[in-house]
Amino acid sequence: MFDTIILKARPIPIDPHILSQYNEHSTTFFSKETGALNTSYKIYDDKLPFIKYIEASQSLTVQVSMPKFLYGDNVTMLTEPDIPLFFEQLQERLFHLFDVFIPHSEWIISRCDVCCNFQVGKKVGEYVRMLSRQQLAYKNTIAYNQDQTVEYRNKSSRTILYDKHKQTQKEKAPTEVIERSKGILRLEVRPSDNDLRRFSTTRKAVELLQKPFFDYTIEKTLAQIEYPEEVGDIDLSWLMENRENISKIETVLGFQLLQSIFDEPVLRQLYTPSTYANRKNLAKKIAIPQRNCLDRLAINS
């Protein structure tokens, strides 16, 4: 449902005696706005791996993986009842660390990773290869580690799909977590500021960390994915009906096989511009029986 988030709240007055514990991780600098000296503290905690506090503005920033905070791993998917539980435990942890009580409504989100696990069995690599050969609107496509990761990104947002099992293995996660990650194609979306404000004009965490925002973000992303077709079952009767075009059918079948393996920039290196255009036009004219290559990804309602 949700993974890494960055939360901010102000003003949060923290006792200077408590802050003095963290002097070794503090930085003093001149404020561009006021010209006065300002102190920034970075606090490292087992449960909250990144906390930043700016003394002059009394601004508190927390970055945390919600499922890791609650359950110790991010293979576990959060459910709706986990959201209030997260806010309560966050409130308790910060009270324990700084002796401050922060109402849930005070938190503003500056980053929110919306995520979903798709159990696709042994077809994770096939999905990643298929996805690496297409583009989402207004985003650049970047593929990593062959059939493990594909990312679509621009300056304001990011979408990434990857092999969760291989990631947990690389991170040397506990054996039980690695086992649960088998067959998972992981989708993570980092929405733009405009998307955040569509659901909350002030980007309040209590308004964004809800199922409607999750549904909107994931469904919008899945709607952009195309599922190219592959050659279906060609029977003898269809070939007999089209035997005058058998050499062209052979050419199209070979071209479509290459399309299923390589993306367009690579294919353009294999052909002259005129031959490549000819192959694409021929593929449109020869109506070889097709079928969808992979099942559509969908969230459970």
**CA separation, residue 110 to residues 141, 242, 253 (Å):** 24, 59, 49
pLDDT value, residue 229 = 60
Residue 140 lies in a domain: yes
Residue 301 lies in a domain: no
pTM for the full predicted model: 0.79
Verify that 191 and 275 share a domain, yes or no. Answer: no
Verify that 92 and 183 share a domain, yes or no. Answer: no
Last residue of a domain, one of 82, 106, 130: 106
pLDDT value, residue 176 = 96
Torsion-angle region of 259 (φ positive above 0: left; ψ -120 to 50: alpha; else: beta): alpha
Residue 300 lies in a domain: no
Last residue of a domain, one of 226, 255, 280: 226
pLDDT value, residue 147 = 77
Residue 298 lies in a domain: no
Verify that 121 and 221 share a domain, yes or no. Answer: yes
Stated as kind and residue range, the H or E segment containing 138 is none
Verify that 99 and 136 share a domain, yes or no. Answer: no
Residue 125 lies in a domain: yes
Verify that 220 and 236 share a domain, yes or no. Answer: no
User: Which residues of the chain fall below pLDDT 50?
Assistant: none
pLDDT value, residue 168 = 96
Verify that 249 and 180 share a domain, yes or no. Answer: no
Neighbours of 66 (CB within 10 A): 25
What's the domain range around 182? Answer: 112-226
Q: For 54, list phi and psi in degrees, rounded to 5.
A: -105, 120
Mean pLDDT of the chain: 89
pLDDT value, residue 232 = 59
pLDDT value, residue 236 = 80
Last residue of a domain, one of 83, 106, 129: 106
Verify that 37 and 5 share a domain, yes or no. Answer: yes
Q: How many domains does the chain have?
A: 3
Verify that 82 and 167 share a domain, yes or no. Answer: no
Name 26's bridge partners: 41
Verify that 221 and 279 share a domain, yes or no. Answer: no
Tens of pLDDT, residue by residue over 186-202, are 999 999 999 999 999 99
Verify that 221 and 239 share a domain, yes or no. Answer: no
pLDDT value, residue 78 = 95
Residue 297 lies in a domain: no
Residue 241 lies in a domain: yes
Residue 169 lies in a domain: yes
Report cis status (omega within 30 of 0) of the bond before 11: yes
pLDDT value, residue 286 = 77
Verify that 99 and 116 share a domain, yes or no. Answer: no
Chain mean position to CA 234: 38
